Amino acid sequence: MLGNAETARRGNLVSAVGMLLAVVVTLLAKQILSYEWILVGIVAGSLVGYVAAVRVKMTAMPEMVALFNGFGGLASMLVGWSEYERLHLASPDALPLFISTTIFLTVLIGGITFTGSVYAFLKLAEWVSGRALLFRGQHMLNLALTVVAIAGGVLFAMGGDYERAGFFAAVAISLLLGFTIVMPIGGGDMPVVISMLNSLSGLAAAAAGFVIGNNVLVVAGCLVGTSGMILTLIMCKAMNRTMVNVLFSGFGATAATGKGTAFAGELKPISPGDTYAVLETARQVVIVPGYGMAVSQAQHQVKELADILEKNGAEVRFAIHPVAGRMPGHMNVLLAEANVPYEQLVEMAAINPMMPQVDVAIVIGANDVVNPAAINDKSSPIHGMPIVNAHEARTVICLKRGKGAGFSGLENQLFLLPNTRMLYGDAKVSLQAVVSEFKGN
Ligand code: NAP
């Protein structure tokens, strides 16, 4: 059900009911020590969750997801730790190898997820610099830390005098590793990293499930782990980058990540009045939303314009690029909020063959995902990235505020093409002006 936008709501509901069932069954278990503390946890967690969900702005969604992922990792780590303390109190002997291994994995993955996610949150919220921080020997340091953490795990599993030292070394290093792994990854790549950390938080939960012998936790954790990993790979593919490149290349360490070719041509502005004239006669219109639509929160005005165009006899579709915006499904969520029907949303692969027949492509705050350099400039760092072929439409109208580059920092040849016109200004204001022109005529 989650694989399709129309059934996703029901899929979420089914998952929620499944989780409720798991919680109720767990609460009925005899080993529960204190219902009072569980209640305190429920009240405190619900309050924080409610306030955060109500107050978060749509553009701040990725960092909230990052933070909540991190709490998942922390929870798993604490479960692993407390289970170790409980078993240690019960018997000072070395733990069975299976138990010590799963506790070690829970703590290691949970710790990395926690600090990695908190750092990702800080980068995205711009509380710290979003730049990729690189230094010599960085990857060697991460490798060395991983080796020391594993050595700590071995001491822990062996039991004896160094058992506790080994365990706490693994805890400390996992927390450190979260920071050092995310450090060389730029703010723009954070959505990919968040999706990967989400996957890790699932694996930590699955490991915690083994620790406490809870099958539901194992299954739910594996679901989160695999779906998060699939999402991560989809995002990498949509950017034509490998996961290794995202994690280790330091993309975004400098302001511009690559130059590509400089293009000739001039930017040709268009007024809202002339935009109206072009759109008034159009019969096939494709709207390509991007990050700028999210920044200006223009989704309701986009929907209003789409409705007006349809009333005027045009067929309107929305071209959805898989990495438009700054998080997976960013455009889908915004357009759904404005009640744009799902049938109007067309995926990139399906819309591209239709582009040559399209009268007008309206590009709203999208840049990289419509950059033809991805197809025709081999020297471009984004060469090979799949794009929405907006440039093939008879006329292209681009809404943006000025000459600002996209996430990649590259110049965009689309804006200079003879069939492109630039409607400058905040997307919401520009769309309101075009809608007013329609209403006034
Ligand atoms: P983009 O390349 O980041 O470009 C956004 C454009 O919007 C900018 O050129 C900017 O130009 C314009 N803009 C900003 N605020 C605006 C406003 N208020 N009104 C109108 N225009 C505004 O966006 P994109 O085409 O959506 O591409 C997404 C990029 O993010 C891709 O490079 C993708 O690889 C990357 N990325 C996405 C994800 C994901 O999950 N979606 C994950 C990782 C990376 P002005 O400043 O001139 O207005």
**pLDDT tens per residue across span 206-218:** 999 999 998 989 9
Rounded to two decimals, the pTM is: 0.78
Is there an atom of ligand 1 within 6 Å of 415 CB? no
**pLDDT tens per residue across span 54-76:** 998 877 888 898 999 999 999 99
Is there an atom of ligand 1 within 6 Å of 192 CB? yes
Is there an atom of ligand 1 within 6 Å of 187 CB? no
Is there an atom of ligand 1 within 6 Å of 328 CB? yes
Residues with Cβ < 8 Å from 358, sequence gap 6 or more?
Answer: 284, 285, 286, 392, 393, 394
Domain chopping of the chain, boundaries: 56-248, 272-440
**pLDDT tens per residue across span 75-97:** 999 999 999 999 999 988 889 99
pLDDT recorded at residue 252: 59
Take atom 13 of ligand 1 and give the residue whose Cα is closest. Answer: 292
Q: Cα dist. 96→101, 102, 169 in Å? A: 9, 10, 20
pLDDT recorded at residue 255: 45
Q: What is the C-alpha separation between 149 and 157, in angstroms, rounded?
A: 12
**pLDDT tens per residue across span 216-270:** 899 999 999 999 999 999 888 887 788 888 888 776 565 444 556 667 778 999 9
Expressed in angstroms and rounded, the spacing between residue 330 Cα and the centre of ligand 1 is 11
Which of 93, 161, 274, 368 is catalytic? The answer is 368
Is there an atom of ligand 1 within 6 Å of 426 CB? yes
pLDDT recorded at residue 192: 85
Q: What is the C-alpha separation between 309 and 2, in angstroms, rounded?
A: 32
* Percent residues over pLDDT 70 in the chain: 97
* Least confident among 241-255, 287-301, 324-338: 241-255
Question: Does the annotation count 93 as an active-site position?
Answer: no
- Determine the average pLDDT of the residues in 28-52: 90
**pLDDT tens per residue across span 173-202:** 999 999 999 998 877 777 788 889 999 999
272-440: CATH homologous superfamily?
TPP-binding domain (3.40.50.1220)
Expressed in angstroms and rounded, the spacing between residue 397 Cα and the centre of ligand 1 is 16
Take atom 29 of ligand 1 and give the residue whose Cα is closest. Answer: 407
**Cα 413 to chain centroid, rounded:** 27
Is there an atom of ligand 1 within 6 Å of 323 CB? yes
Q: What is the C-alpha separation between 309 and 377, in angstroms, rounded?
A: 35
Nearest ligand 1 atom to alpha carbon 385 = 34
Query: Has residue 429 got a pLDDT over 50?
Result: yes
Is there an atom of ligand 1 within 6 Å of 130 CB? no
Nearest ligand 1 atom to alpha carbon 426 = 19
Take atom 11 of ligand 1 and give the residue whose Cα is closest. Answer: 404
**pLDDT tens per residue across span 355-412:** 999 999 999 999 999 999 999 988 887 888 899 999 999 999 999 999 898 887 888 9
Q: Edge-to-edge strands of the sheet including 284-289?
A: 345-347, 315-320, 284-289, 360-364, 395-400, 420-424
Give SS3 for 224. Answer: helix
How would residue 105 be classed by pLDDT, with cut points 50, 70 and 90? very high
